């Protein structure tokens, strides 16, 4: 009989994963997804109580998890902590923020805050993780959490778009440079997801209606919509994928 091809495994057994912004929302869900797929997951955020609770819940479910209380905007502190850990082979670069305002109203303080976290901190967090991987000869997957707004524009989103288009750019450059080391780099680009961060926005009925009008599948995203995607990008199932974007946007960017 002809041998049938075998689907590459989505399992992550024996791999170590680091997820920033893992205290709640998208980050917590991605940590859970990676843990369910067999990875040992380190939850990272500023608020230790949240990530300790998350790691404890994962352990109670039979998964391997711990936590690191770190502020990713502390570039030197984050790099030092990562250098002292066993190398990770999966990095979900998720910590981010948004301060939506009309373009003409964006203050310098908001620019510095959003770009400082979404671009500066994300860039150097990825640098710290990959330096440790390269030093240890570890191959793996870097998943930078971008947005549909890294591919289109949006009203009141000039600053957020700037930050995510920047992430899309440095992710492609990372992919080119890190490929010889066996390190893949991709972005995951969600549409509007219901999380503690976005909940206040959707209390505005007109805003929610405008968002739903753009999402062709007719609903807001949930964190569960991203869990399979992050496992795919982390696993051997996406072994030939680098320098690309996985857009999970319900059809927002299709037109």
Active site residues: 160
Alpha helices in 179-223 (DSSP H): 199-202, 205-214
- What is the rounded radius of gyration, in angstroms, for the C-alpha atoms of the chain? 18
Q: Which residue has the tokens 């040992």?
A: 40
Count CA within 13 A, CB hemisphere, residue 242. 20
Cβ-proximal residues to 223 (8 Å cutoff; 6+ apart), any chain: 25, 26, 28, 29, 30, 193, 194, 195
Cβ-proximal residues to 27 (8 Å cutoff; 6+ apart), any chain: 19, 20, 21, 43, 45, 92, 94, 95
DSSP state of 69: E
Structural tokens at position 141: 């997957």
Whole-number Å distance between alpha carbons of 88 and 28? 18
- Contact between 121 and 144 under an 8 Å Cβ cutoff? The reply is no
Whole-number Å distance between alpha carbons of 220 and 19? 23
C-alpha to C-alpha distances, 80 to 74, 114, 124, nearest whole angstrom: 10, 23, 12
- Contact between 24 and 53 under an 8 Å Cβ cutoff? The reply is no
């Amino acid at each position: 009989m002809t041998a049938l091809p075998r689907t590459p495994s989505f399992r992550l057994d024996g791999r170590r994963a680091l997820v920033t912004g893992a205290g709640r929302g998208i980050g917590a869900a991605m940590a859970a997804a990676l843990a369910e797929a067999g990875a040992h997951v380190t939850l990272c955020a500023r608020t230790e109580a949240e990530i300790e609770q998350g790691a404890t819940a994962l352990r109670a479910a039979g998964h391997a998890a711990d936590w690191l209380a770190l502020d990713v905007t502390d570039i030197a502190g984050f790099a030092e902590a990562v250098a002292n850990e066993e190398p990770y082979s999966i990095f979900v670069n998720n910590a981010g923020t948004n301060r939506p305002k009309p373009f003409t109203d964006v203050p310098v303080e908001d620019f510095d805050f959003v770009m400082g976290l979404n671009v500066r901190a994300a860039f150097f967090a990825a640098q710290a993780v990959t330096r440790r991987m390269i030093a240890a000869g570890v191959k793996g997957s870097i998943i930078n959490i971008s947005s549909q707004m890294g591919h289109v524009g949006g009203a009141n989103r000039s600053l957020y778009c700037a930050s995510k288009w920047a992430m899309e750019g440095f992710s492609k450059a990372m992919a080119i440079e890190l490929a010889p080391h066996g390190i893949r780099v991709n972005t995951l680009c969600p549409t509007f997801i219901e999380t503690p961060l976005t909940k206040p926005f959707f209390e505005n009925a007109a805003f929610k209606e405008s968002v739903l009008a753009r999402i062709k599948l007719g609903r807001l995203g949930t964190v569960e919509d991203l869990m399979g995607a992050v496992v795919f990008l982390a696993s051997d199932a996406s072994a030939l994928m680098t320098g690309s974007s996985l857009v999970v946007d319900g059809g927002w960017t299709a037109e």
